Amino acid sequence: MLKKEKKSNIQKLGPVKFLSLGFAIIILTGGFLLSLPISSQSGQFTNFLDAVFTATSATCVTGLTTLNTAQHWSIFGQIIIMLLIELGGLGFMMLPIIFYTLAKKKVNLSTRIVLKEALNLDDMSGVMKLTLYVLKFSIAIQTTGMVLLAIDLVPRYGVIKGIWYALFHAISSFCNAGFDLFGDSLVPFQNDPYILLVISFLIVSGGLGFLVWRDLLQYKHTKRMSMHSKIALMMTGLLLLGGFVIFFFSEHNGRYLVQSDNFLVRLMNTLFMSVTPRTAGFYSVDYAAMSNPGLILTMFLMYIGGTSGSTAGGLKTTTFGVVLIQMISLLKGRQRAEFAGRSIKETAVFRAMTLFFITLSLCVISIMILSATEHLPRQNGIEYAAFEVFSAFGTVGLTMGLTPDLTEFGKLLIIGLMYIGRVGIMTVLFSLMSNNQKTTCRYQYPYESVLVG
């Protein structure tokens, strides 16, 4: 009887609250482990708030750190960070799936419901098949990335250290985390286009989304692609290409940011500037020295983020794409959002526009708070706060140098933004409501016109 009652209580919690609570538990557990002396190179306890900040950044695959990952954390601490990145990137619900698969047991209905919510699916049909596909695909890409990185890193650092660096950075890149063990991200590799290219491949692979990859890999046989994948590919291509072109002109192809006269080297760094704000967090240039147009573009890319159902955070490319499609359709005089010969469901349009408004409002309010609580330059210091906020919400990890000097309140604010950016603003809001179940309204109020514009 007790066992049945306990199971009933878990089901009553609901998938949305379960996901929110699950991420919070992993963060606090990771923070506790990182605060222990065994996790630091000095063998001393780490400030708990800094440990939780690092655990949040790792679990929410952000990359913002108040402590230097290479200098402060021991091998044990770095392993904990790597495991948190993997859990946060793929979703902690992958753990029970691995257990069920190894034990050859059938996955229960409650787990399937939570998986549906975690993967942002509309229904549960094929949820287990997709989950196993996500696991296999992730392992394959990360293994490939590790081998490609090892080709360059093993000759530099030796076999053991080179393989460890390759594994850590392959996971960090694919999960769009941005944590590094080099001490200064990828600045030492400014003149190594190979490393930048491999990291870019891993970042785009993780941020494109598992549903999109499945459609791409099966297109040869199915000859069809979902609306989600079409919008994701269109927006990803536009943002990458558009970002590259604008950075090429605004930063003069990295002439003042990259210590090289080689045109191709600077071109690869310029491309990397367009790739990494897509929630990755690695950097090969000093963003404090970037031009104002470049900074604004970087913040815009960080806010948009990656694709829904991927390892990335932010508003999401598909969400922004739906808002754009609705706007274009409205300007054409059409009542419905139409794209590629299909009409997008009104519920998806309303959800996208709601997310756009809420997330942008959240970022603006956070910038106002951070600019009041932190020690910023008296003149032209607002960009430091704005850059930090968009980086945290987009789970990117780029910074202009403000992160290590954050006040305790500032750290708590950034922790909250990283959490919301990874779990999702709607998931967090629904989990805070006493009843988030859909209810059918039995009546409708009469319509009345409102002047707009």
* pTM, two decimal places: 0.87
- Quickly list H helices, 158-209: 159-174, 193-208
CA distance 248 to 74: 39
Does 366 or 126 have the greater pLDDT score? 366
Residue-wise pLDDT tens digits, 395-434: 898 988 889 889 999 999 999 999 888 877 766 665 555 5
Mean pLDDT of 339-355: 88
**Domain definitions of the chain by residue range:** 13-429
* pLDDT beyond 90 at 47: yes
- The proportion of the chain whose per-residue pLDDT surpasses 70, expressed as a percent, equals 83
* pLDDT beyond 70 at 344: yes
Structure tokens at 390: 């968009």
DSSP code at position 170: H
- What is the structure's pLDDT at 75? 96
CA distance 311 to 185: 20
- What is the structure's pLDDT at 378? 65
Does 170 or 437 have the greater pLDDT score? 170
Does 30 or 423 have the greater pLDDT score? 30
Q: Are 268 and 197 within 8 A, CB to CB?
A: yes
Structure tokens at 175: 């999960």
Q: Return the minimum-mean-pLDDT range out of 175-179, 202-206, 429-433.
A: 429-433
- What lies within 8 Å, CB to CB, of 196 at 6+ separation is 186, 189, 268, 269, 271, 272, 284
CA distance 292 to 84: 34
* pLDDT beyond 60 at 440: no
* pLDDT beyond 90 at 18: no
- What is the structure's pLDDT at 135? 81
What average pLDDT is seen over the chain?
85
Closest-CA residue to 66 (of 410, 369, 370, 311)? 410
Which pLDDT band, with edges at 50, 70 and 90, does 118 fall under? low
- What is the structure's pLDDT at 5? 42
Name the amino acid, one letter, at 127.
Answer: V
- The proportion of the chain whose per-residue pLDDT surpasses 90, expressed as a percent, equals 51
Q: Return the minimum-mean-pLDDT range out of 4-8, 39-43, 57-61, 302-306.
A: 4-8
Structure tokens at 289: 């020295």
- What is the structure's pLDDT at 417? 93
Mean pLDDT of 199-204: 94
* pLDDT beyond 80 at 88: yes
CA separation (Å) from 304 to 68, 316, 325? 27, 5, 15
- What is the structure's pLDDT at 380? 66
- What lies within 8 Å, CB to CB, of 104 at 6+ separation is none
Q: Which 3 state secondary structure label does DSSP give 400?
A: coil
Which pLDDT band, with edges at 50, 70 and 90, does 109 fall under? low
Q: Are 409 and 375 within 8 A, CB to CB?
A: no
Q: Are 276 and 391 within 8 A, CB to CB?
A: no
* pLDDT beyond 80 at 12: no
Closest-CA residue to 214 (of 226, 203, 231, 204)? 226
* pLDDT beyond 90 at 33: yes
CA distance 20 to 100: 22
- What is the structure's pLDDT at 6? 46
Which pLDDT band, with edges at 50, 70 and 90, does 448 fall under? confident
- What is the structure's pLDDT at 376? 83
Mean pLDDT of 245-257: 93
* pLDDT beyond 90 at 42: yes
CA separation (Å) from 184 to 102, 110, 181? 40, 44, 8
- What is the structure's pLDDT at 114? 57
Does 421 or 324 have the greater pLDDT score? 324
Which pLDDT band, with edges at 50, 70 and 90, does 1 fall under? very low
CA distance 259 to 419: 36
Q: Are 362 and 428 within 8 A, CB to CB?
A: no
Q: Return the minimum-mean-pLDDT range out of 52-66, 100-114, 152-166, 390-404.
A: 100-114
